[in-house]
Amino acid sequence: MKKDFSSLANEKTILLAVLLQLFVAMFSSFLMVGLTSMYDPSVIAGYSGIEYQVGYSGEDSPLLDLLEDRDDIRVHRMDLSSAVTSLKERQLAAVMYVPDTSPVAEEPVKITLYSLQNDIQGAIINAKLKEVFLGYEEYLRDLRRGRLMVEPVPVQNPEKAGSSSFYEFVYGLLIPLLLFMPAIISAALVIDLICEEYENHTFDTLLSTPVTFQEVVWGKTGLAVLLVPLQVIAWLVLLLVNGIHIAAIPMILLIVVASSAVLILTAALTALYYRERTAAQVIFSIAVVILILAVLSVPGNPFNLVAVLATGLAGQALGLMFALPMAAACILAVVISWYSSRIPGLG
């Protein structure tokens, strides 16, 4: 174990994977804004304190007053062609054209909006302008209320609780991703450690010392398991530094280590069987995908359990959920001990 631990510095793939996790943990708030904007662009509007320049063309309208009332939007009255040219040169964030349709006219008021595509600034200004357009829509509805032939049924909607995108991202994705990524890295590492001895024909040298084959295997596997809590603790500390509250940290560590042990022991068994790094990594990768999909289909799986524990809302089935990966790890440990004792030779 000491020999393999000292050689980890030469494993560039492992180091790069650890640095990637470090980046994710340290910049979790920044990544939250970027990832949540993919499915909810309105989220990023709340993180911007910049004043955006918007071109206004067409007739005067109450919409103009709504725009000018906002502190984060500055309106410029321009003709349409000049405004669009300024938009292409990125001097404006958006351009809107308001027709001369009266607010009380029979036909709808059709407003044309020009914005930048595939641009984060365009996503932000679109989210801000959506709020303005919704306010203008309510204004038009009030003016045209007299046209209703049937009295609408009032519906009491619950008050909006605010956006939960940060909560969903951090506890539903970020924390489980960071805490279980070390298991995948350690599983890949143990395959390399075992197969490397086969490929370099150094098992014979190791066995010439006062150690058995099983002790060599368990030394390498133990190192991979030991790395998991070390990385997990580091990521938890970084998340706490980012101001993210995490409850039940000791229980989270137990769940993650037990679940990670299942993955690492599966990788060790795969390496012992195939003895060749490429074949073992490919077979293990396929098995991991199938295993993760199967686990995610079960309610109360380790990923959900870690998310629930982090929020401090763990249920009564916690003991059972912890016992399952522990039982699976024990079974795999017995299988590895039995299989490694029956390997006839190292070739």
Q: At which residue do the structure tokens 């790094």 appear?
A: 277
Least confident of 28-32, 173-177, 221-225, 332-336: 28-32
For the chain, give the number of residues.
347
Furthest CA-CA distance within the chain? 96
CA distance 285 to 335: 20
Q: What is the mean pLDDT of the chain?
A: 79
CA distance 198 to 200: 6
What per-residue confidence (pLDDT) applies to 9? 59
Nearest residue to 300 (alpha-carbon basis) of 323, 284, 330: 323
What per-residue confidence (pLDDT) applies to 57? 92
Task: Please report which confidence band the pLDDT of residue 302 belongs to, taking 50, 70 and 90 as the band edges.
Answer: confident
Strands laid side by side in the 112-115 sheet: 73-77, 52-58, 94-98, 112-115
Task: Please report which confidence band the pLDDT of residue 10 belongs to, taking 50, 70 and 90 as the band edges.
Answer: low
In a 13 Å sphere around the CA of 173, the CA atoms on its Cβ side amount to 12
pLDDT exceeds 90 at position 56: yes
Is residue 101 classed as helix, strand or coil in its secondary structure? coil
pLDDT exceeds 60 at position 162: no
Q: Which residues contact 31 (CB under 8 A, 6 or more apart)?
A: 24, 174
CA distance 182 to 231: 6
Of 8-22, 130-144, 169-183, 290-304, give the range with the top mean pLDDT: 130-144
Task: Please report which confidence band the pLDDT of residue 347 belongs to, taking 50, 70 and 90 as the band edges.
Answer: very low
- Domain boundaries of the chain, sorted by first residue: 2-35+164-341, 42-147
Is residue 75 classed as helix, strand or coil in its secondary structure? strand
Phi, then psi, of 61 in degrees rounded to 5: -155, 155
| Percent above pLDDT 90 for the chain | 8
Is residue 56 classed as helix, strand or coil in its secondary structure? strand
CA distance 27 to 21: 10
pLDDT exceeds 80 at position 120: no
Nearest residue to 198 (alpha-carbon basis) of 280, 116, 136, 259: 280
Nearest residue to 111 (alpha-carbon basis) of 49, 62, 165, 174: 62
Per CATH, domain 42-147 is 3.90.79.10: no
Averaged pLDDT for residues 229-245: 83
Going by the DSSP 8-state scheme, the letter that residue 171 receives in this structure is I
pLDDT exceeds 60 at position 239: yes
What per-residue confidence (pLDDT) applies to 113? 92
